[in-house]
A and B are shown apart, each in its own frame.
Chain A
Amino acid sequence: MSKKQKKNLTRILCSAILLAVAWLLPLEGFWRLLVFLVPYAVIGYDVLFSAVRNILHGQIFDENFLMALATVGAFFVADYPEAVAVMLFYQIGELFQSIAVGKSRKSIAALMDIRPDYANVLRNGEAVTVSPEEVEIGETILIKPGEKIPLDAVITSGETSVNNAALTGESLPVECRVGDTLISGSVNLNGVVEAKVKSVFSESTVSKILNLVENSASKKARSENFITKFAKYYTPCVVIAAVLLAVLPPLILKQSFAIWIERALTFLVVSCPCALVISVPLSFFGGIGGASKAGILIKGANYMEALSTVDTVVFDKTGTLTKGIFSVSAVYPQNCSESELLELAALAESYSSHPIAASVVKAYDGTLDKTKISDVQELAGRGIQATVNHKPVYVGSSNLMDAVGIKRKDGDTVGTTVHVAADGKYLGYLVIADEIKADAKSAIEKLKSIGVRKTVMLTGDADAVGRAVGETLGIDEMHTQMLPNDKVAVVEDLLQEKNPKHTLAFVGDGINDAPVLARADIGIAMGALGSDAAIEAADVVLMDDKPSKLVKAIEISKKTMRIVHQNIVFALLVKAIVLVFSAIGLAGMWLAVFADVGVMVIAVLNAMRTLKVSTVSR
């Protein structure tokens, strides 16, 4: 509890005791008023003071004014105990609310406790402890076990393992050696390392992430704007209704003004829109904070809202659903051994820089004797022609085999097939495939189960390869052999097709897909740890490269929106009911204060649920 909260608690206790004493004293008339005024003054002086001061500032009809009016009114009708009790109840509610808000502020701050406090920088051979802002690019920092990595840096000596949990939500440590990049905000676990600083603090990953989360509050969701607009019209309407309630029934029904003025005051106390004004932004903020703990950065409440209504998800293939690393997945030799086939293929491919060639060379684990090979010729899009041991060798696609008139065998294995022929004889083929990420299939299945209607995959790869990957994963629609511009066109078409109430998300790895990220309703960049471009281009950033994080992000957004809607409906419903009750005289000031402060506390507590996000990916 803060100092102010403790003080208020003391006031509440004192006033409650004084109220009990006043109740028990057998006093009459003026003396009775006086003993009740004591606890009233203790508990209500600040409210009365603020009410007067705010009126002087032109702020009428705020909470303080309403409470002052209601309780002073109760004194006038000689309802002393009620006047004190209502004020007391109001202050208890305020205290609760202040504690709840303070607590959620703290837990959000704790979520974002990735800001490093200091850096040990080596200057003139000595380690000096300075604030991370003071370290310049190119300086060497020393990081000890248990310390936060203060700046993005490349290891120059030592090795260690690093915990990225605060950034990605994954607690599995990552091994780092000389030459590896350390990401600021992660924690060094066991080794002492020296590292050369790559960027100044304001440009480091940790600053970018913190900025992003803090600034996310400025991008307001439709439901937040709705509340602001609502409050703008709501307050004057309620005030007018209260005035009418105080004046019209007595005039028409010829009843006493006192009853109807009391009802009008009750009506005003109920009407305060604070529960909504606090809980809606709090829910969004909690959701964004909770998501960031799971390694999902959502750049604004508006994107949180959009994410919850996603019904079409468009994936880029390479690097998003697949690892983007080609490897030889199968070897089918004919008329020779497996290693002979691999050696021949690797020799022929050893001069090429094509990723497929690199994967073939990598798959052969012996040493390549490059003196055996000569006359290497790259046949664009088809393969390689070379002379090995004075014999003509062809390594490449089916087209190439057909062109040189060699009968080939076709497998049904998915991937790029590389045929090998030597001296006019067919020797077999290799299959090269981009590996599908381990959790891609289950992620696609889960997307379906949480309401995504359509999944689409875009790829520049050959039709057969793209289709096979898509079918393995259970994707609804595949577009293959696409150029970057085609991708934008496909997304535009999909945007036209979809139901305008729902949104379309594009998921890519942030490389070369900035135009599509921008065009989609929500651009999601994956595997962004250490990639500045992706952090900037996307609306939602998944810090690691697991497709299952997308499912988590949508789940978090749906949960947050559910809590927002619960709070809006709950607060409005309770208020509407109590407003009607107070107008017809069924609700007293007690219920009115509950409808104001009580509803707010409940809404704040409900909003705090958004903070709870299980970080373990399922």
Chain B
Amino acid sequence: MTKTFKLEELDCANCAAKMESAINNMPEVASATVSFMTQKLTITTDSEITNDLMKKVAKVCKRIEPDCRIIY
């Protein structure tokens, strides 16, 4: 399943790159891309993308860039 989420207050390109690799390292996620330009996060997983998973993803992102929010 692939879903795209909007990111708010994504101000730092380096952080976007770090977030991307951190989300990619999550075992539940098959692949993820963070586009700094379009401010979008695209996640692909083998199963359903649940709210719980998104909470985990948001937590991972928060560690890297506390200002950035994922709209899900």
Contact surface of A with B, Cβ cutoff 8 Å:
50, 53-54, 57-59, 62-63, 98, 104-105, 108, 214-215, 217-218, 228, 231, 272-274, 277-278, 281-282, 285
Contacts and interface: CB of A to CB of B under 8 A. Distances in A.
A217 B38 contact: yes
B71 interface: no
Given A58-B63, A62-B14, 15 more contacts: A59-B64, A105-B38, A108-B37, A108-B38, A214-B35, A214-B38, A217-B33, A217-B35, A218-B33, A228-B17, A231-B17, A274-B14, A277-B16, A278-B13, A282-B36
A62 B39 CA distance: 21
B12 interface: yes
Contacts of B13: 274, 277-278, 281
Interface string B24-52: 00000000010111111010000000000
Contacts of A62: 14-15
The residue among B17, B39, B64, B66 with the most chain A CB atoms within 10 A of its own CB is B17
Contacts of A57: 62-64, 66
Contact of A281 (B15, B36, B39, B40): B36
A368 to B, nearest CB: 58
B14 A273 contact: yes
A272 B15 CA distance: 12
9 contacts: A57-B63, A59-B64, A217-B37, A218-B35, A272-B14, A274-B12, A278-B13, A278-B14, A281-B36
Contacts of A104: 37
B42 A218 contact: yes
Nearest to B62: A57
A282 B35 CA distance: 10
Contacts of A58: 63
Contacts of A231: 14, 17
Contacts of B17: 228, 231, 277
B35 A53 contact: no
A54 B14 CA distance: 14
What are the 4 A-B residue pairs with the smallest beta carbon separation, nearest first? A278-B13, A217-B35, A218-B33, A285-B37
Contacts of B11: 98
B37 A50 contact: no
Among A53, A108, A277, chain B packs the most CB atoms within 10 A around the CB of: A277
Interface in B7-25: 11-17, 21
Interface of B: 11-17, 21, 33, 35-40, 42, 62-64, 66
Contact of B37 (A98, A215, A228, A282): A282
Contacts of B35: 214, 217-218, 281, 285
Contacts of B62: 57
Nearest to B11: A98
A283 B40 CA distance: 17
A287 B62 CA distance: 31
B37 A281 contact: yes
Most chain A CB neighbours (cut-off 10 Å) among B14, B33, B37, B39: B37
Contacts of A215: 42
Contact of A277 (B14, B42, B63, B64): B14
A278 B15 CA distance: 10
Contacts of A105: 37-39
B28 to A, nearest CB: 19
B14 A50 contact: no
Nearest to A217: B35
A324 to B, nearest CB: 37
Nearest to A286: B37
B36 A278 contact: yes
Contacts of A285: 35, 37-38
A54 B42 CA distance: 25
A89 B36 CA distance: 24
Contacts of B42: 215, 218
Contacts of A218: 33, 35, 42
Contacts of A274: 12-14
Nearest to A211: B4
A228 B33 CA distance: 13
B37 A59 contact: no
Nearest to B67: A50
A291 to B, nearest CB: 15
A282 B36 CA distance: 8
A54 to B, nearest CB: 8
A53 B40 CA distance: 25
Nearest to B37: A285
A228 B42 CA distance: 18
A50 B66 contact: yes
A231 B17 CA distance: 10
Contacts of A278: 13-14, 36
B42 to A, nearest CB: 6
B36 to A, nearest CB: 6
A278 B17 CA distance: 10
A116 B11 CA distance: 29
A54 B12 CA distance: 14
Contacts of A214: 35, 38, 40
A43 to B, nearest CB: 17
Nearest to A235: B14
B19 to A, nearest CB: 11
A50 B68 CA distance: 13
A98 B9 CA distance: 11
B12 to A, nearest CB: 7
Contacts of A98: 11
Nearest to A604: B13
A217 B20 CA distance: 13
A57 B38 CA distance: 26
A177 B40 CA distance: 40
B17 to A, nearest CB: 6
Contacts of A281: 13, 35-37
A281 B38 CA distance: 11
Contacts of B16: 277
Contacts of A217: 33, 35, 37-38, 40
